[in-house]
């Protein structure tokens, strides 16, 4: 019998479904405005630059650089208690948007702005894959 | 400025309950107790209240009208901006008064932040956190300490802001709380105590984080013409709210360290017609020690990156050049989401600050910070 999944689940919407479906295929999908080409994240229905509602989806390279971080120590949520402490990383993706996730297998003492990272995928549940990051040499 | 709110409204009454970690009243009970005190302080009767702006989380306007038996309310609203809500509500109240809709607006907040749902659970239910809930909660970014900490991390990395400076904010607030009979924290705090406290989410230690409290606070905003007849009115000179770029997420903000307050502050100062040197006392929304440093920068008291040095040397302590949070703030008085900051500014400008009174305080400023970077600021002066 599997352990119950205690972490918060994403409440997906019609705007974000391709992002979550993409993760199941181990791809980070980003919205790109069909009219002006600006990439945006988190998923939302309108381009902030030209206000078009026509959207394509592109696959991100998954490579990026550390913009900021925090190392979580306090158990605010029972679902994450077992993995404390963990690094919450704010990552600038190559496509020009940011993503917030955990940075795995890095000593907090080695954290610095601009640290090169790349995405790895974690099978959280049968129906949920989440993006994480690892440092790259 | 024909459409300026300068001088159009004044705070005529203030009320607060006991602040604690275990109130024997419900949230609506705390709101009604604080409201009645504020109404009496203003020399009004409950039914003189014709506008109601409650905090956006908790009991709603209708329940306040029912509780106080208000029969002629013409305006009710909420300003859902988390801790920026109370000061933003002052702008809302002043605007509806200036427009002639209302004469006396009740702004009130009551909560059982210690006894009932704690912050990580509370914000998950707030619509302002929808994008956070979908994209950041599932990977473990849940509580404000975790969501806000990356702002502080980057500030430290770029500008050399340090733990001693965070500790100075915490110690200054605690020293002020010790002078306030209605403060939850009653023991002295040292820099060493701060540095030895457990880590919550780097760089925030326990004593960098605000309290979770039970209590209620209310203020009455009245038209300036009516305010003249009240005991000790405090005039709103300038008031503004501002929203950061990407207000629904911190992560996607071009500059993580610039808050909505940076947009609101120039508007409030221009409306007030005063300069930073005119500010005798400041109540700065202090959910975390770092936020005080960041807000002082965004207010324009110093440049971005210089806030850490700015607060050193006793500058923000009583007796310093810019006393901050003379009541002890969210860090050491109580977390009443900044309604207690408005209460304290009025108390100071009335000259009723007790042992924490800033000598000769005539003009002061109060900020709010909330949700994912929303800001609000009001500049006030004791009415002539």
Rg (CA), chain B: 19
> Which residue from B199, B286, B124 is spatially nearest to A75, judged by alpha carbons?
B199
Please state, in angstroms and rounded to a whole number, the distance separating the CA atoms of residues B311 and B259: 19
pLDDT at position B2: 45
Q: What is the DSSP code string of B7-28?
A: TTEEEEEEEE---BSS-SS-HH
Q: Which positions ≥6 away from B59 have C-beta within 8 Å?
A: B27, B28, B31, B110
Are B128 and B371 spatial neighbours (Cβ–Cβ below 8 Å)? yes
Task: Show residues of chain B in contact with A71, CB under 8 Å.
Answer: 199, 201-202
Supply angle C-alpha B382, B383, B384, rounded to 5: 115
For chain B, first and last CA: distance in Å? 21
* Residue A1 pLDDT: 52
Chain-chain contact of B201 with A74 (C-beta, under 8 angstroms): yes
Q: Quick one: closest CA in A to B253, which residue? A: A98
CB contact under 8 A, A68 and B133: no
Mean residue pLDDT of chain B comes to 96
pLDDT greater than 60 at residue B70: yes
pLDDT band at B20 (very low <50, low <70, confident <90, very high): very high
DSSP annotation of B210: P
* B252 vs A contacts (CB less than 8 Å): 41-42, 97-98
pTM: 0.97
> CB distance from B199 to chain A under 8 Å?
yes
pLDDT digits (tens, 9 = 90+) for B191-212: 999 999 999 999 999 999 999 9
Please indicate whether residue A11 or residue B123 has the higher confidence score (pLDDT).
A11
User: Burial level of A87, CB count in 10 A (0-12/13-18/19+)?
Assistant: buried
Q: In Å, how far from its chain's centre is CA B220?
A: 16
CB contact at 8 A, B233 and B9: no
pLDDT of B63 above 70: yes
- Beta-bridged to residue A92, according to DSSP, are A65, A98
- Best B202, B258, B288 member to test A by mutation, with max A CBs in 10 Å, is B202
Band of pLDDT at residue B125, cut at 50, 70 and 90 = confident
Considering chain B, what percentage of its residues have pLDDT values greater than 90? 93
- The pLDDT-based confidence of B98 (bands split at 50, 70, 90) is very high
**Helix, strand, coil percent content, chain A, rounded in steps of 5:** 10, 40, 45
Over range B218-224, report the average pLDDT: 97
- Residue numbers in chain A where pLDDT is lower than 50: none
Instruction: Tell whether ipTM is more than 0.90.
Output: yes
> Which tens digits make up the pLDDT trace of A83-116?
999 999 999 999 999 999 999 999 999 999 999 9
Nearest to A41 among B146, B150, B252 (CB): B252
Question: C-alpha B131: how far from its chain's center?
Answer: 24
- Buried b vs exposed e over B114-143: b needs ≥16 C-beta within 10 Å? bbeeebbebbbeeebbebbbbbbbbbbbbb
CA dihedral defined by B259, B239, B370, A16, rounded to 10 degrees? -70
For residue B329, what are the contacts with CB-CB under 8 A and spacing of at least 6? B173, B176, B177, B210, B283, B284, B286, B341
């Amino acid at each position: 019998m599997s352990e119950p999944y205690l972490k918060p689940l994403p409440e997906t919407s019609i705007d974000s479904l391709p992002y979550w479906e993409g993760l199941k295929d181990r791809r980070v999908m980003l919205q790109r405005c069909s009219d002006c080409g600006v990439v945006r994240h988190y998923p939302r229905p309108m381009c902030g630059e030209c206000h078009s509602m026509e959207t394509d989806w592109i696959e991100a390279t998954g490579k990026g650089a550390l913009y900021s971080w925090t190392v979580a120590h306090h158990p605010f949520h029972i679902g994450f208690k077992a993995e404390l402490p963990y690094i919450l990383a704010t990552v600038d993706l190559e496509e020009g948007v940011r993503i917030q996730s955990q940075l795995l297998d890095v000593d907090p003492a080695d954290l610095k702005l601009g640290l090169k990272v790349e995405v790895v995928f974690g099978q959280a549940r049968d129906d949920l894959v989440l993006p994480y990051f690892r440092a790259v040499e | 400025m024909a459409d300026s709110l300068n001088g159009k409204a004044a705070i005529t009454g203030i009320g607060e309950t006991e602040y604690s970690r275990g109130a024997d009243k419900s949230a609506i009970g705390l709101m009604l107790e604080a409201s009645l005190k504020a109404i009496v302080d203003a020399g009004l009767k409950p039914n003189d209240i014709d506008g109601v702006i409650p905090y956006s989380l908790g009991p709603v306007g209708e329940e306040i009208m029912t509780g106080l038996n208000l029969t002629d309310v013409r305006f009710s609203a909420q300003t859902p901006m988390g801790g920026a809500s109370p000061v933003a509500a002052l702008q809302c109240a002043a605007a509806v008064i200036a427009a002639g809709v209302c004469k006396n607006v009740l702004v009130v907040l009551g909560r059982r932040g210690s006894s009932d749902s704690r912050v990580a659970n509370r914000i998950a239910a707030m619509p302002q956190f929808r994008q956070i809930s979908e994209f950041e909660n599932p990977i473990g970014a849940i509580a404000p300490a975790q969501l806000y900490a990356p702002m502080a991390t980057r500030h430290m990395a770029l500008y050399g802001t340090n733990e001693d400076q965070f500790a100075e904010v915490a110690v200054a607030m605690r020293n002020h709380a010790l002078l306030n009979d209605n403060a939850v924290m009653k023991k002295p705090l040292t820099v060493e105590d701060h540095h030895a406290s457990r880590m919550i989410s780097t760089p925030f230690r326990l004593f960098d984080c605000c309290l979770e409290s039970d209590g209620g606070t209310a203020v009455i905003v009245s038209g300036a013409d009516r305010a003249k007849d009240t005991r000790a009115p405090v005039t709103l000179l300038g008031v503004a709210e501002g929203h950061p770029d990407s207000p629904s997420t911190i992560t996607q903000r071009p500059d993580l360290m610039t808050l909505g307050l940076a947009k609101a502050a120039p508007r409030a100062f221009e409306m007030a017609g005063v300069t930073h040197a005119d500010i005798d006392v400041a109540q700065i929304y202090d959910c975390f020690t770092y936020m005080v440093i960041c807000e002082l920068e965004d207010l324009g008291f110093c440049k971005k990156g210089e806030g850490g040095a700015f607060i050193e040397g006793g500058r923000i302590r009583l007796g310093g050049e810019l006393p901050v949070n003379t009541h002890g703030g969210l860090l050491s008085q109580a977390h009443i989401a900044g309604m207690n900051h408005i209460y304290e500014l009025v108390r100071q400008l009335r000259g009723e600050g007790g042992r924490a009174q800033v000598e000769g305080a005539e003009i002061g400023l109060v900020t709010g910070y909330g949700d994912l970077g929303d800001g609000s600021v009001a500049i006030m002066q004791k009415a002539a």
